[in-house]
Amino acid sequence: MRTLILSGKTIKKLLKMEDVLRCVREAFMNETRMNMPPKSYLFLKNGDFRSMPVSYGRYAGIKWVNVHPENKNLPTVMAVFILNDARTGFPLAIMDATTITDFRTGASAGIATDFLSRSDSKVFGIVGCGRQAWTQFLAITLVRNIEKIILYDIKKERAEALKEKIVSHKSVEVVVADDLYLMKECDIISTTTPSTSPVLMIGHIKNGVHINAIGADAPGKQEIDPLILKRARIVVDNMEQAIHSGEINLPIKKGIISERNIYGTLGEIVRGIKIGRKRFEEITLFDSTGLAIQDIAVASFLYERARDAEIGEEVKLIDF
């Protein structure tokens, strides 16, 4: 038996946000049938590694992903996914999961936006215009009819570069903001920064806005003003992970909010156990930490697509 190797270049050819949205939605629908131990962290001087094991149906797997914010000539986030046959343990595939991580994170925000934002949302704001911002744009413009996008980054050249990429892809008005007060126009905002202190403040938003809090994915990270959290309907991707390392981790540790402030999980909403947005004027917030169920849903889809199309390199990895 041979193991399929899928490079980043191959993954990019196979991935489409429409497919990833479907895979991630199915993952939330089937969450209760998946086995996902808590994400574990290995903290080092210049960054950290996360180990994310999961099994679902005939597949099991693990994502090994790093976050090194000080990288200069390498991506800040890199990942590898090992996909195994759950019955025998044989490694079916090893694939670059860096782009998978980008796309499934964007897709989870897209699904949250579909359930939690107002259906008439037209203006979308992105705070932090690095790598993740692109897949936020791809996913959210698929679930809402966005007419205007407002970009902000502390490095304005990053926002300008993202603007150029967006307008070459879609006919939409794009504005690069000099400060965050322009976010008050937005119906939907995604924050994708590595900040350890609040960036988006209560004075930057309007009533009725939906916020995707994406950047806080490790203990000590924080992007959102606690005053927003106290007013918002908060939905998390996973309760345990969010309390440990999501946007709510510091406000809960400091006693600003408690677990009682958490409305529920995105999976509960997708499965119809709880409803999404209740009132037109309420503020909703999705706290995304990233789940292994999303990774295996996308990785198994890509493995089956690549195998059917006879794409990728097969190697005899295990000698027996």
- Positive or negative, the CA dihedral 288, 76, 195, 129 is negative
* 26 within 8 A of 297, measured Cβ to Cβ: yes
Nearest to 126 by CA among 149, 105, 146, 109: 149
In whole angstroms, what is the distance from residue 63 CA to residue 48 CA? 14
Note the maximum CA span of the chain.
63
Q: Of 120, 111, 311, 101, which Cα lies nearest the Cα of 209?
A: 120
Q: Measure the N-to-C terminal CA separation of the chain; round to a whole number of Å.
A: 9
Q: Which two tokens stand for residue 204?
A: 């930057």
Please check whether residue 134 is in contact with residue 153, taking contact to mean a CB–CB distance below 8 angstroms: no
122 part of the active site: no
Cα-to-chain-centroid distance, residue 48: 18
Residue ranges in the chain assigned as alpha helix (H):
8-14, 17-29, 98-116, 131-143, 156-169, 226-231, 239-245, 249-253, 266-270, 292-309
- Give the Cβ contact number of residue 319 at 10 Å: 4
Name the token pair of 83. Answer: 């996909």
Nearest-angstrom CA–CA distance, 221 and 245: 7
Q: Which of 16, 39, 63, 254 is catalytic?
A: 63
16 DSSP 8-state letter: -
Structure tokens at 159: 């926002």
Tally of CA atoms within 13 A in the half-sphere of 180 that contains its CB: 20
Joined tokens for residue 151:
């970009």
Give catalytic residue positions. Answer: 63
